[in-house]
Amino acid sequence: MNELTTLVDWSRAQFALTAIYHWLFVPLTLGLGVIVAIMETLYYRSRDEKWLATTKFWMTIFGINFAIGVATGIILEFEFGTNWSNYSWFVGDIFGAPLAIEGILAFFMESTFIAVMFFGWKKVSPRFHLASTWLTAIGASLSALWILVANAWMQYPTGCEFNPATMRNEMTSFWAVACSPMALTKFFHTVLSAWTLGGVFVVGVCAWMLIKKRNVEHCQRSLKIGAWVGVIGIILTSITGDTSAVTVAKYQPMKLAAMEGLYKGDFKQSIVAAGVLNPAKTVSNDEDPYLFDISIPYGLSFLATHDFNAFVPGIQDIIAGVSFDANGDSVNTVSYAERIERGKAVQEMLAQYDVAHRAGDKVMTDSLHTVINRDMQYFGYAYLDSPEEAVPNVPMTFYTFHLMVTIGGYLVLFLLLALLFVYKPKILEKARWSKWWYWLCIVTIPLTYLCSAAGWIVAEVGRQPWTIQDLMPNKVAISDLNAGYVQLTFWIFAVLFTALLIADISIICRQVSKKSQEDLNKA
Question: Confidence class of residue 58 from pLDDT cuts 50, 70 and 90?
Answer: very high
Do 59 and 153 fall into the same domain? yes
pLDDT in tens, 348-381: 998 888 888 888 888 888 888 888 888 888 998 9
Single out the residue of 85, 198, 206, 222 nearest to residue 140, CA to CA. Answer: 198
Taken in order 428, 431, 435, 441, the sign of the CA dihedral is negative
523 occurs within a structural domain: no
Q: Say if residues 116 and 132 touch (Cβ distance below 8 Å).
A: yes
- Find residue 276's DSSP bridge partners: 292
**240/261 same-domain check:** no
| Judgement on whether residues 439 and 505 belong to the same structural domain of the protein | yes
Kindly list the distances between the CA atom of residue 179 and the CA atoms of 77, 187, 237, 343, in Å, as whole numbers in the listed order.
22, 10, 19, 28
Q: Do 371 and 414 belong to one domain?
A: no
Note whether residue 118 is domain-resident: yes
- Last residue in a domain, options 306, 332, 358: 332
- Asked if pLDDT for residue 330 goes beyond 90, the answer is no
Domain end among 363, 387, 411: 387
What pLDDT does residue 4 have?
Answer: 58
Half-sphere exposure (Cβ direction) of 298: Cα atoms closer than 13 Å: 5
Tell which wins on pLDDT, 4 or 505.
505
Q: Is the separation of the CB atoms in 440 and 418 below 8 Å?
A: no
Residue type, 448: T
308 and 396 co-located in one domain: no
Quick one: 173 and 236 in the same domain? Answer: yes
DSSP per-residue letters across 230-258: HHHHHHHHHHHHHHHHHHHHHH-HHHHHH
Asked if 379 and 462 sit in the same domain, the reply is no
Number of structural domains in the chain? 3
Distances (CA, A) of 82 to 72, 104, 189, 478: 15, 22, 30, 9
Confidence of residue 316 (pLDDT cuts 50, 70, 90): very high
Query: What's the pLDDT tens digit per position in 258-293?
Result: 999 999 988 999 999 888 998 988 888 888 899 988
Output DSSP code: residue 377. Answer: G
Burial of 429 (0-12, 13-18, 19+ CB in 10 A): exposed
Q: What pLDDT is attached to residue 18?
A: 86
pLDDT of residue 193: 94
Q: Check residue 365 and give its pLDDT.
A: 86
> Is 56 a residue whose pLDDT tops 80?
yes
Containing domain of residue 340, as a range?
336-387
pLDDT exceeds cutoff 70 at 520? no
Residue 471 has pLDDT above 60, yes or no: yes
Summarize the confidence of residues 177-205 as an average pLDDT: 93
The mean pLDDT of 201-218, rounded to a whole number, is 87
212 and 171 in a common domain: yes
CA 77 vs CA 74, 158, 471: distances in Å: 5, 22, 21
**CA gap 368, 371 in Å, rounded:** 5
Looking at the structure, tell me whether residues 430 and 500 fall in a common domain.
yes
Calpha distance 508→297 (Å, rounded): 46
The average pLDDT across 325-348 equals: 84
pLDDT 10s digits, 5-44: 688 888 888 888 888 888 888 899 999 999 999 999 999 9
Q: Counting every residue, how long is the chain?
A: 523
Would you state the pLDDT for residue 521?
64
pLDDT at 523 over 60: no
In one letter, which amino acid is 40? Answer: E
Q: Select from 455, 407, 506 the least CA-distant residue to 27.
A: 455
Q: Name the DSSP class of 513.
A: H
Give phi and psi for 481, each to the nearest 5: -120, 165
Determine, yes or no, domain membership for 76.
yes
Q: At what angle do helices 85-101 and 126-155 cross, to 10 degrees?
A: 150
Answer yes or no: is 521 within a domain: no
Asked if the model's pLDDT at residue 450 lies above 90, the reply is: yes
Q: Please report which helix (H) or strand (E) contains residue 270, including its range.
A: none
Judgement on whether residues 32 and 77 belong to the same structural domain of the protein: yes
Answer whether residue 1 shows pLDDT above 60: no
Which of these, 490, 470, 467, 491, lies nearest to 84 by C-alpha position? 467
What does the longest C-alpha to C-alpha distance in the chain come to? 88
Q: Decide if 479 is inside a domain.
A: yes
- At 329, is the secondary structure helix, strand, or coil? coil
155 and 463 Cβ atoms separated by less than 8 Å:
yes
Q: Examine the pLDDT at 158 and tell me if it is beyond 70.
A: yes
* Whole-angstrom distance, CA of residue 96 vs CA of residue 86: 14
Query: pLDDT value at position 517?
Result: 66
467: helix, coil or strand? Answer: strand
Q: Give the per-residue pLDDT at 321.
A: 87
Percent helix, strand and coil across the chain, each to the nearest 5: 75, 5, 20
Indicate whether 288 belongs to any domain: yes
The per-residue DSSP string of 147-199 comes to: HHHHHHHHHS--SEEEETTTTEEEES-HHHHHT-HHHHHHHHHHHHHHHHHHH
Closest CA to 76 of 152, 31, 30, 17: 17
**429 and 373 part of one domain:** no
* 363/469 same-domain check: no
Per the domain annotation, does 458 fall within a domain? Answer: yes
From 367, 387, 407, give the residue that closes a domain.
387
Rounded Cα gap, residues 226 and 39, in angstroms: 10
Mean pLDDT in residue range 432-451: 92
Single-letter amino acid code for the residue at 321:
G
146 within domain boundaries: yes
Question: Comparing 74-83, 192-201, 382-391, 433-442, which segment has the lowest mean pLDDT?
Answer: 74-83
Q: How far apart are CA 314 and CA 256, in angstroms?
A: 9
Phi, psi of 327 (to 5 degrees): -90, 0
User: Coil, helix or strand for 433?
Assistant: coil
Higher pLDDT, 344 or 522: 344
- Does residue 97 surpass a pLDDT of 90? no
| Euclidean distance between CA atoms 107 and 92, whole angstroms | 20
**Res. 499: pLDDT tops 60:** yes
